[in-house]
Amino acid sequence: MASLSDQAQAYLKKASPRFRELYATFERAVRERFPDAEASFQFRMPGWRVRRRRRVDPASVVGTLDPNWVQIYLEERKFGTILHLWNPIDVNGFRKRKADLERVGFKLMADGIAFNRKSEYPMGLVAALLEDLKMSLEEDGARGAAKATTEPPVPAAGRGGETRDEALRRQLDEWAAEPPMGGGD
């Protein structure tokens, strides 16, 4: 059987140039937020696993995925790219940003989000999802250590003094105007 890196390399070799570029962008975004993330190839998809700070007995939860890992996978389909994100701490993580995700052309599914537009992938919004994920892991770790987090994170300044949220809103408005691939949703 091929090693993990061989399987991931084979997948990426067969993928479109757009997907390979998107994967590299995701790699940077994941590593920036989760330096300890492990490259993974599961369910025939390349991605990453992030260890949870607070250990949970896998026998104490229902399901087949280990609750001690957050899992992030990308998949290329004929109709677009799917981001699979499984966060055992917050299983409804996409719902917090549902309106923004749908406005720029993502289709929400039970286990991921699909993007089927020809325009540039809305990485700013995905980065915000990764920030939400990072925050949920930090809060979960603090609960496990019996600490409470009371201060919200300070937004990073964007170009021209705009906050991260303002920059994201500007990008969302730009991406929302782009028609979908295939002519309709």
Task: Give CA–CA dist 167/174, Å, rounded.
Answer: 11
Per-residue pLDDT of the chain (185 residues; tens, 9 = 90+): 345 578 889 999 999 999 999 999 999 999 999 999 999 998 899 999 999 988 888 888 777 888 899 999 999 988 889 999 888 887 777 888 889 999 999 998 877 899 988 888 999 999 999 999 999 899 888 887 653 333 344 444 444 566 767 766 766 666 565 555 554 44
What is the set of domains in the chain, with CATH numbers?
4-183 (3.90.1150.200)
Q: Across the chain, which distance is largest between two alpha carbons, in Å?
A: 52
This prediction's pTM: 0.73
